[in-house]
Amino acid sequence: MIDIHCHILPGVDDGAKTEEDSLAMAKAAVEQGIHTIIATPHHKNGSYENDRGQIEKHLTFLNDLLQSEQIPLTILGGQELRINGDILTDIENGEILPVNDTKYVLIEFPSSSVPHYAKQMLFDIQVAGLTPIIVHPERNKELLAQPEKLYHFVRNGALTQVTAASVIGKFGKHAQKLSHQLIEANLTHFIASDAHNTTSRTFHLNEAYQEVKDLYGLDTYYMLLENSHLLIDNMNVNRLEPEMPKKKKFLGLF
């Protein structure tokens, strides 16, 4: 498996703090069946700032460390971009590191809201030649209340990624419900861990894919698995016709 969203680089953000933490996460990932991770430290979110050059140095260090420890895991580069008005300037200045230097970038909304300028910014990112992937929308309070907003973003060309832990209920029933609604409505294209450590925010990727297989069948399971491979190879990912999320009962919730 490939994990396209993970905070495994040591000492750069709210993920792994030390080399030992990174190694522990790497071992946990391999146990899950993960062979490749996209390291996606926060670019600019108020507390952390990681530009392309810094990330590339940390990538080289961590891959060398994994090789010396004989851990069969490859770390590729990326960033988690908190949506802000400077993204286009940062793209022009070369500060942005797309996922494995492809046409794809991870875009994060604030946890409680969707900025009013989000539609225009997502469009402008595409005009700049990049495809935005909205990460963990199922954990955004505004999208939990109004999932139809995500439908319009996807209709206009954005992709989305749900969190493995959300799919299996680790972020609560409401996030789990929306994760499943998005899968059913063809409104998400990737499952990733967004792992930060080996305790409270670990991988759960294998369990999430198993749940997808059990509930939605092999076609959906393999499509989501394949999309992560297509992503790092800079190819067009599988997209099915998006639908408006259906309001129906899930785990006792409407």
pLDDT, mean over the chain: 95
Sign of the alpha-carbon dihedral angle for 219, 224, 226, 231: positive
pTM of this prediction?
A: 0.95
- Checking if the pLDDT of 253 tops 60, the result is no
Q: Which DSSP string corresponds to 66-93?
A: HHHTT---EEEE--EEE--TTHHHHHHT
User: Cα–Cα distance between 139 and 171 in angstroms, integer?
Assistant: 8
% of the chain at pLDDT higher than 70:
97
- On whether the CB atoms of residues 89 and 53 are closer than 8 A, the answer is no
Q: Tell me what the mean pLDDT of segment 103-109 comes to.
A: 98
pLDDT digits (tens, 9 = 90+) for 173-221: 999 999 999 999 999 999 999 999 999 999 999 999 999 999 999 999 9
User: Cα–Cα distance between 38 and 193 in angstroms, integer?
Assistant: 10
- On whether the CB atoms of residues 153 and 118 are closer than 8 A, the answer is yes
- Checking if the pLDDT of 4 tops 90, the result is yes
The pLDDT score that the predictor gives to residue 134 is 98
The pLDDT score that the predictor gives to residue 198 is 96
The pLDDT score that the predictor gives to residue 64 is 98
The backbone torsions φ and ψ at residue 85, rounded to the nearest 5 degrees and listed phi first, read -75, -5
Domains annotated for the chain, with CATH where assigned, are 2-232 (3.20.20.140)
Sign of the alpha-carbon dihedral angle for 212, 228, 4, 139: negative
Q: Tell me what the mean pLDDT of segment 67-80 comes to.
A: 98
User: Cα–Cα distance between 108 and 196 in angstroms, integer?
Assistant: 16
Q: Which helix (H) or strand (E) holds 77?
A: strand 74-77
